[in-house]
Structure formats: structure tokens, C-alpha cells
Amino acid sequence: MSKFDYSIKKQIQNPKKIYCVDNGFVTSLGFRFSQNKGNLLENFVAIELKRMGKEIYYHKENFECDFVIKDKLKIIEAIQVCFDFNEKNEKRELNGLLEAMKKFDLKKGKPRKGEYAKMIADINKAKRILGWKPKRNLGDSVNSLIKWYGTKPRGWKY
């Protein structure tokens, strides 16, 4: 995946990010010392965005935003993927997203003054309004997904 730039020449010259078409390949064939759930989640998002026919790039100036989506001649959305959002990475993750939003004049998703940034996987509204309770947490769900992918050498179309 290319770094977004309005100059095609710069897109070609800049470093690319590489994603695997199936997380099962990454988990069964990849060389690693530990499970990198953040990379697997980012890879999963890249796969899904491509499956949906999105034209995706990444953004990087002072900070990095994992995905920016282009429609026709304009960047229309910025997406930051983070498996474990915490004090150590909060500034980096939010700065990458906010920098991309500012550069491409994106308003959607921008936190309002005094409001904490919302995360896509936030289940608090479902808990509060519907009284819903998850059977397992996000970490357990991703671990289950990783384990499942490891048992599917041909991927999810099994």
C-alpha cells in the first residue's frame, strides 16, 4: 500500500506497507517471536477495506495514520487501527489520526472539545441502552480469531 501523495512520482518513491491477503498465512507461515495482535488487526482491516473496493493509502508526515480512503480525487476518510489503546500509545495513535484529518479537511470522527475520541469497537452504548453484556472481551475474541485462522490453511473460504 502506498503512502498517499497527490504526486504519483512521490507515491512511487515513498516506502510501501505490505499486507497479506489472509491472516492465516501470517499466523502459520510468518516468522515471529510473539503474536503481534496489532499487526494482525491492521492486516485484517486492510483486507476488509480492499474487499469492500476501497482505494486505500496510508498517511505519514509527523505522525502516521494507518489508512486514508480516496474516492475520486479526494481523501474522504481516515482510519487508525489499534488493538490495545492505552496511555503509552494514546498520543501517537490520536496524533496520527488527527494529523490526517486536518491535512485532508475531514470533519467526521473528530473529537469535540472536552470529549474523548470514540473508538469503533466501543460497546458502551449497547451496554447502557440495551443492557447488553459481552460473552468475552475484545482480546479473547481476537485470540480466538487468530487461533481459528491458524486452523484454516486455505483461509476463511473453507
pLDDT digit string, tens, across residues 115-135: 444 445 566 666 776 677 777
* CA neighbor of 57 nearest in space, from 100, 90, 21, 24: 100
Find out whether 41 and 145 touch, Cβ atoms under 8 Å.
Answer: no
**Total structural domains within the chain:** 1
Q: Does residue 3 lie within any of the structural domains? A: no
pLDDT at 92: 87
- Asked, for residue 2, whether it belongs to a domain, the answer is no
CA dihedral 12, 93, 35, 32 (to 10 degrees): 40
pTM: 0.64
For residue 13, tell me if it sits in a domain.
yes
Q: Is the pLDDT of residue 25 over 80?
A: no
Sign of CA dihedral 95, 40, 138, 58: positive
Q: From edge to edge, which strands make up the β-sheet containing 55-60?
A: 55-60, 64-71, 74-79
Domain assignment of residue 158, yes or no: no
Q: Is residue 123 in a domain?
A: yes
Query: Is 136 domain-assigned?
Result: yes
- 60 is a domain residue: yes
Which residue segment(s) compose the domain that 18 sits in?
A: 8-150
CA distance 125 to 72: 34
Return the C-alpha cell found at 93.
495513535
Cβ contact 104:98 at 8 Å: no
Cα 28 from Cα 58, distance rounded (Å) = 26
- pLDDT (tens digit, 9 = 90+) per residue, 91-118? 888 889 889 999 999 876 444 444 444 4
Q: What is the mean pLDDT of residues 25-47?
A: 71
* Helix locations, the chain, DSSP H: 8-13, 23-29, 37-51, 90-103, 124-130, 138-150
